[in-house]
Amino acid sequence: MNEAENTLTLPKEVSNEVFFKEEARRIREAFNNKSNELDLEYLRHQLKCMKSLATSLELPWDRFIPILFRSLTLYMQQPDININKRKMVQLTAQLIDCITYLSQSGREINALAVYFDHQIDDLDNLLAKNEEQQGNSVIVES
């Protein structure tokens, strides 16, 4: 039985917590983050930052594309000089394509903002329940 099948038998609250902790772990791993912040709080902070970024895109992006493209290729080249330049240029071009698409897609931006709001609300509820449970366990121990 794999992990996905295991989570199907868990209560919704527990499966939400497993999902959010796994997402926080993946984001920390991707960004090589070693802060002492709790996983769920770290994920909530990242979601708020992503929502802020998505909702603050300003038009027109078209005139900034050459500057962004050159800056990103130089940035990606700096950490590892041996990186394949063709792959670096392709990745940067894909990123610029995504930025251009998002800057011209108001509906998707609104949908992303709503999605991030739901995720943040779910995390807030989960954190509140965890704090409540910790408070109850402290009272029982006393």
pLDDT tens sequence across 15-54 = 678 888 888 888 888 777 777 778 888 888 888 888 887 7
The pLDDT value given to residue 15: 66
Q: Angle CA(63)–CA(95)–CA(120) in degrees, nearest 5?
A: 105
Please check whether residue 113 is in contact with residue 41, taking contact to mean a CB–CB distance below 8 angstroms: no
Is residue 2 domain-resident?
no
Is residue 4 domain-resident?
no
pTM above 0.85, yes or no: no
What's the number of domains the chain is made of? 1
Asked whether the predicted pLDDT for residue 107 surpasses 60, the reply is yes
Is residue 6 domain-resident?
no
Confidence class for position 1, pLDDT limits 50, 70, 90: very low
Helix, strand, coil percentages (3-state) for the chain, rounded to 5, are 80, 0, 20
Provide the percentage of residues in the chain whose pLDDT is more than 90: 1
Is residue 38 domain-resident?
yes
d(CA 70, CA 58): 20
Is residue 60 domain-resident?
yes
Confidence class for position 92, pLDDT limits 50, 70, 90: confident
Is residue 3 domain-resident?
no
Asked whether the predicted pLDDT for residue 11 surpasses 60, the reply is no
Is residue 86 domain-resident?
yes
Which whole number is the average pLDDT over 128-138?
79
Range of 63's domain?
11-136
Is residue 141 domain-resident?
no
